[in-house]
Structures are given as C-alpha cells and as structure tokens.
Amino acid sequence: MPGAIYAEGLVKTFGDVRALDGVDLDVPEGTVLGLLGPNGAGKTTTVRVLTTLLQPDSGKAVVAGIDVLKHPNEVRRSIGLSGQFAAVDEYLTGRENLQMVGQLYQMSARDAKKRAGGLLERFNLADAADRPAKTYSGGMRRRLDLAAALVVSPPVMFMDEPTTGLDPRNRQQLWEVIQELVSGGTTLLLTTQYLEEADHLAHNICVVDHGKVIARGTSDQLKARTGGERVEVVVHESEQISPAREVLLGFGKGDVAIAEHTRKLTVPVTGGAKLLAEVIRELDIRGVEIDDIGLRRPTLDDVFISLTGHAAETEAEENGEAEDARGAQGAKAKKSRKESAK
C-alpha cells in the first residue's frame, strides 16, 4: 500500500528546464521525509505539485489516499502547507492572521481564538501578537506562517524550508513542534538546506538534483554509502594550507577539501586514531602549525558533497560570502551548474 505521500514519475518542464525529471516518492504514514537538494534541484516544484498548486506534465501523485490530479480540492482539505516564502496578510495582526485561518477551516470563533493564542505562545509571538504582521521581522513572519500551517492539524503536512531564517533557539523550538506533530501521527514532507535538520528530524531522506532523486535512505544509510572517517585540520596560517594539503594527500583516500577562510582541510581516511597520530607527526615535521585537528564520521554534508559535487548552498554562499568548502571538483561542478542555469 502506498504511503501517505506517494509520487511516481513526476515530470514538470518550464521551457527548457526539466524541473522534475521523473520523481518517485513514498512516505509512510506518521514519518518525516527530508527532501534535500541544491538550489534549483526541484524541491519547491515537488512540493507545489503534491500540494495541488502546480500541474505536472506527467506522473502520478497520491496524498492522504487521494489522487492529487483527479481530486485536488479534497487533497487541499487534508493537507497543511508552509511555503518557502511566508504567506501572511501584512495588514492583519499575527493573532488575526491565525484566527482567520481557523475560521477559513470552519472552526468556531471561540476555538479559532483559543488555537491562535496557543500557537502565538508556542512560536514566541505572544508579545507581538497584536501588531500588524508588516511590522514583523523576517524570522517572526516565518514563525507566523508556520503557526498558520498548524492551526488545523491536517494528517499530511508540507514544509518548504521551514527553518530558513530562524535563529538557533527558534529553530530548536520548531524542531520540537515538528517532533510532537509527528509523534501524534502526522506525515511530513520537509525540504531543507540544513543537513543537520534532516539528520535530526527525517526518518528518510531523498536527495534530489536536476529534478531527479539521486539517493534515498536513512541518514545512517546515506552516511555509510559515503564511507569512512575524515581527518579535519585547521592550520594556523593561510600559508600553511598548501604544505598541509600535501601531507593529507599522502594519508587520504580521496581529494582534500579546503575551506580557505577558515583554513580548514578535510580528507577521507581509513585507519582511525593511529593514523591521526601519524598525520600530526608528519605535519609537525613539515613545520605546519595547527589550531585544531580531529577525526570525524561523515556528516550529511559530506554525503551531499559526494553526491552532488558541491556543498549545500546557503543564501550567504549564493551571495559569495561563505567559505569555499568545496574541493576543486566541487567548484567545477558548481560552475557548470551556474552556466547551465543561464
């Protein structure tokens, strides 16, 4: 039996762009699917198709047991959506926004008011509840939008980058809300650029790139696929990146990734702590002064880099502010993506 969210062979093109190129998904009831992928991979397009906002060119989608293409209105009654860009009414206060959603869903005025009050507390908006939403900061808007998606408790929820722009405390709180929802039986599809978030919340993960699912599994399965440990070294001065890189190449089982700004070098290894001691000795012999060195298991970031050829792109990185955490190969992949996007 298909899960609470099911998709088969979804294709959607916009002119020359194949935004979805045969996406298959199956999310068991009461679980969280994390949809990961670089900018432009097709995450939002997938969410829009599954939430009836966009017609695919071909393929099949069933949500909460209802055919999305045949019965979009029924699907809408069974789902909640928090989009990538917050959809709140600027001129209403936070409280009014939430009450309005409740009443749209035929709650009594009293129930809608009670529900709104509870959610405003929950999302740290109680103090600002009676101000128009246009006076809210970006993170406050996002929280209001998420609260709006939770006014009614639909069996299936979609959240497109729910924690983008939230500070760490609010992100943590949203994670708690999500975990509660899911333990209550809600099925959730969430897209994120924060691999840590998928690691924390998602039972299963799909990595999409160029409109295709390029890997799927649990976070542990994906990490196991990426293989062993990594040695991470932070050198004291930028000049030492190059000699440190040579040392690491001698011990590593692959390319050395270099983050210039943070002077951090990372290389996949096999050999554990003993090898680490040897690396330290060799760096010392070459006169490389280190600020930090360690052995770590692959993170979802590593999985992402090995699958897509580059790190997850945050907004800062898009603006050219973030560190260059990619190896030479990754930088090339990113460049060609940018070019093909033109």
Chain residues binding Mg ion by CB under 5 A are 43-44, 84
CA distance 212 to 230: 28
Whether residue 103 contacts residue 152, with contact meaning beta carbons closer than 8 Å, is answered with: no
CA–CA separation, 299 and 168 (whole Å): 19
For residue 163, state whether it binds ligand ATP (rule: CB under 6 A): no
Nearer CB in complex with ligand ATP: 39/306: 39
Q: Which stretch binds ligand ATP (CB under 6 A): 39-47, 135-143, 214-222, 276-284?
A: 39-47
Residue 276's contacts (CB-CB under 8 Å, 6 or more residues apart) are 231, 293, 294, 295
Name residues contacting ligand ATP, limited to 303-332 (CB under 6 A).
Answer: none
Interface with ligand ATP (CB under 6 A), residue total 12
CB atoms within 10 A of CB 173: 16
Q: CB of 89: closest distance to ligand ATP in angstroms?
A: 23
One-character DSSP codes across 112-143: HHHHHHHHHHHTT-GGGTTSBGGGS-HHHHHH
The closest of 165, 189, 166, 175 to 29, measured between CA atoms, is: 189
Contact 213, 263 (CB under 8 A): no
- Amino acid letter, residue 111: D
Q: Which of 25, 33, 41, 198 binds ligand ATP (CB under 6 A)?
A: 41
With CB under 6 A as the contact rule, the residue among 45, 93, 163, 240 that binds ligand ATP is 45
x-or-dash pattern for ligand ATP, window 61-90, by CB under 6 A? -----------------------x------
Residue closer to Mg ion (CB basis): 84 or 262: 84
Q: How many residues does the chain have?
A: 342
Stretch that binds ligand ATP, among 36-44, 92-100, 103-111, 331-339 (CB under 6 A): 36-44
Q: Which stretch binds ligand ATP (CB under 6 A): 43-51, 119-127, 151-159, 194-202?
A: 43-51
Asked if residue 205 lies in contact with residue 36, where contact means CB atoms within 8 angstroms, the answer is yes
Residue 7 CB, nearest approach to ligand ATP (Å): 14
Nearest distance from C-beta of residue 209 to Mg ion, angstroms: 13
Residue whose CB is less far from ligand ATP, 129 or 311: 311
Say how far apart CA 102 and CA 273 lie, in whole Å. Answer: 57
Nearer to ligand ATP, 206 or 248 (CB): 206
**Contact call for residue 19 and ligand ATP (CB under 6 A):** yes
In three-state secondary structure terms, 246 is: helix
The binder of 41, among Mg ion, ligand ATP, none, by C-beta within 5 to 8 A per type, is ligand ATP
Query: Using CA atoms, how far apart are residues 263 and 4, in angstroms rounded to an integer?
Result: 45
From the list 5, 23, 32, 42, which residue makes contact with ligand ATP (rule: CB under 6 A)? 42
Q: Which of 9, 11, 17, 301 binds ligand ATP (CB under 6 A)?
A: 17
Smallest gap, in angstroms, from Cβ of residue 41 to ligand ATP? 4
- Tokens 């959607």 label which residue? 12
Say if CB 190 and CB 159 are below 8 A apart: yes
What residues make contact with ligand ATP under the rule CB under 6 A?
14, 17, 19, 37, 39-45, 84
